[in-house]
Amino acid sequence: MTTPLNERRIANAIRVLAMDAVQQANSGHPGAPMGMADIADVVWREFLNHNPTNPQWANRDRFVLSNGHGSMLHYALLHLSGYDLSIEDLKQFRQLHSKTPGHPELGYAPGIETTTGPLGQGIANAIGFALAERTLAAQFNKDDLKVVDHYTYCFLGDGCLMEGISHEVCSLAGTLGLGKLIAYYDDNGISIDGEVEGWFSDDTEQRFKAYGWQVLRVDGHDTDAIRQATVEAKAQTAQPTIIICKTIIGLGSPNKQGKEDCHGAPLGTDEIKLTREALGWEEEAFVIPKDVYSAWNAKDKGQAAESAWNDVFAQYQAKYPSEAAELLRRVQGDLPAEFLAQADAFIAETNAKAETIATRKASQNTLQAFGPLLPELLGGSADLAGSNLTLWKGCEGVQDNPAGNYVYYGVREFGMTAIANGVALHGGFIPYVATFLMFMEYARNAVRMSALMKQRVIHVYTHDSIGLGEDGPTHQPIEQIASLRGTPNLNTWRPADTVETAIAWKSALERKDGPTALILSRQNLPFQSRSEAQIQDAAKGGYVLAQEKGELKAIIIATGSEISVAMDAYVQLEGVRVVSMPCAEEFMKQDAAYRESVLPSQIRARVAVEAAHVDYWWKFVGLDGKVIGMTTYGESAPAKDLFKHFGITSDAVVEAVKSLTA
């Protein structure tokens, strides 16, 4: 090793803060921060282009701690560098309402770019950052002025590489040649269960070479070697780089370094005392000497970097004013000023056409109308574009044109969704991704992360029920819609026809505080006539589609393809209204008066019908009501035979209503 003593002392500040905070919380992971401190020292003090006084500076480098259990590494770096994260905040590590939760959480501490913890998703987000940077740069940079020009740095560990998502996303990153992505693999050979060689013996170097990455190996405690490898990584613009850093977990702890003992538990007061002695660190807990703070502080450097970029951007604004205004609009996440009016005009036009088509086709028609208005759309599909109809005429793949607007993700549902989260987090784009609803299951945790991080990601799911027919129970979703609806902060739309589909897309695009799932049919669905007022109410997530004839006695609630079932029953009944509920989450956000006007509380005779699991609907129909839907898996047969076989018919609805009103 060639690390000088003074530089080791600078890195040791991370080690002591990590062990002190974990000890005080009596919970956490000190080993990874202590083992990666030397890597972090080099990356953050010498290479990372960031401004602690403005964590949202648009052209900052992005940093992702994929092995998020080592969160004290990130918090220590933010504190030492000069972010608004005090020593008192570090003392509140893992405590209620602190800025320093157990895993990095977006929106808690300044400088946290993404929520990490579910292993493998951090590197996926980082790939999304790198993809967004390259695409935005290709769309806006000029030969003489580069206003989008930054790197993405990612730390990751054994757990990230063991998770299957890492294969999905790193394979794609290599194929796309994301050269401004640099990953540092903490190769310490230890996980919670002990030495990983018994269950993780991959040749990581050959694995990443096969993906098309540049692979470098260093001693993770040799700062000269880390520095040189980072220079090499930045010089390679055609490939992403992974730097395999051989490290000792918990470095500095005399009795626990290199062992699983320091992975996920405090070192203990006696061991911390010994570690301080071994490190030559004389200060008490949470005390950092002024000279160490001075060595870490990045405020002046960061402000100078942002100021230099501001000068470049001012030149860009003067020379390319329309492009500059457009870039600012997109980075701020605002829709074009004229978009909402144009979207409403398209919805009115769609209502006038009265087409009977599949809602997946209605979705494509909406994309064809909205796409030219929204250059920020960055679409993609997990190898099913011809089936889920996510391609529109203006789509161009980023693999052929870096300035394109569509990603061919291949069969990578989980990776696709987590990358899209990174794209949204980066800014400048509204990503939409697609697969069959059944295969949402592969992506489930990344969908949850979209919602947890409040990101505007649009999840398009087609082939939404037994209505897809002959492919059978492996492809026919049953419980998936209920699972999505049970996800906090996710809006799930299941439109009944062309108009509701266009409304759902508009709602998803307008929404800035979370993701939307669009649940779309394979089969054609009949058009439903609506007044202008009903179109306005449809955007509220639930509305009266068919008014009762005479005194109201019962309510039928339906979504998607079952709206036509409800309407067929409606014509056979008196005193019944049909409520279309394309988005229950949006409906529940409406005021009590509106909800009461749609679902009067005194009407207890309620029937819900949906070709999905019945359990979700009991909260709307009550114990006195009835739900017609699925309680088993599907079968392989034509759709019309399946609906009859499972009793999802107008006759069943009529019978249920009569039984409740007799």
Q: Is 74 annotated as a binding residue?
A: no
pLDDT given for residue 131 in this prediction? 98
Check pLDDT > 90 for residue 158.
yes
- Give 428's pLDDT tier (boundaries 50, 70, 90): very high
- Give 5's pLDDT tier (boundaries 50, 70, 90): low
Domain 540-659, architecture per CATH: 3-Layer(aba) Sandwich (3.40)
Active site residue 338: no
**CA dist., res. 151 & res. 46, Å (int):** 13
Where are the CATH 3.40.50.970 domain residues in the chain?
3-301, 336-517
- Give 569's pLDDT tier (boundaries 50, 70, 90): very high
Question: Could you give the 3-state DSSP secondary structure of residue 552?
Answer: coil
Q: Is 485 annotated as a binding residue?
A: no
pLDDT given for residue 1 in this prediction? 47
pLDDT digits (tens, 9 = 90+) for 392-417: 999 999 999 999 999 999 999 999 99
Q: CB-based burial of residue 123 (10 Å sphere; 0-12 exposed, 13-18 middle, 19+ buried)? A: buried
Check pLDDT > 60 for residue 2.
no
Q: Is 437 annotated as a binding residue?
A: no
Check pLDDT > 80 for residue 640.
yes
Q: Is 360 annotated as a binding residue?
A: yes
Domain 336-517, architecture per CATH: 3-Layer(aba) Sandwich (3.40)
**CA dist., res. 528 & res. 501, Å (int):** 12
Q: Is 263 annotated as a binding residue?
A: yes
303 touches 60 (CB < 8 A): no
pLDDT digits (tens, 9 = 90+) for 590-614: 999 999 999 999 999 999 999 999 9
Q: Is 651 annotated as a binding residue?
A: no
> Taking residues 536-545, what's their average pLDDT?
98
pLDDT digits (tens, 9 = 90+) for 618-634: 999 999 999 999 999 99
**CA dist., res. 169 & res. 172, Å (int):** 5
Where are the CATH 3.40.50.920 domain residues in the chain?
540-659
- Give 458's pLDDT tier (boundaries 50, 70, 90): very high
Which residue is listed with tokens 């599909």?
Answer: 381
Q: CB-based burial of residue 364 (10 Å sphere; 0-12 exposed, 13-18 middle, 19+ buried)? A: buried
Q: Does an H or E element contain 329, and which? A: helix 321-332
- The tokens for 415 are 């990776």
Buried/exposed code over 486-518 (b: 16+ C-beta within 10 A; e: otherwise): ebeebbbbbbbbbbbbbbbbbbbbebeebbbbb
Q: Point out the catalytic residue in the list 168, 271, 306, 413.
A: 413
Check pLDDT > 90 for residue 436.
yes
**CA dist., res. 122 & res. 405, Å (int):** 23
- Give 615's pLDDT tier (boundaries 50, 70, 90): very high
Q: Is 118 annotated as a binding residue?
A: yes
pLDDT digits (tens, 9 = 90+) for 189-201: 999 999 999 999 9
CATH superfamily, domain 3-301, is Thiamin diphosphate (ThDP)-binding fold, Pyr/PP domains (3.40.50.970)
Show contacts of 101-104: CB within 8 Å, 24+ apart. 101/71, 102/27, 102/28, 102/69, 102/71, 103/68, 103/69, 103/71, 104/65, 104/68, 104/71, 104/74, 104/75
For the chain, how are helix, strand and coil distributed in percent, rounded to 5? 45, 15, 40
170 touches 208 (CB < 8 A): yes
pLDDT digits (tens, 9 = 90+) for 460-497: 999 999 999 999 999 999 999 999 999 999 999 999 99
Question: Could you give the 3-state DSSP secondary structure of residue 648?
Answer: coil
> Taking residues 567-582, what's their average pLDDT?
98
Angle between helix 339-353 and 359-370 (nearest 10): 140
pTM across the whole model: 0.98
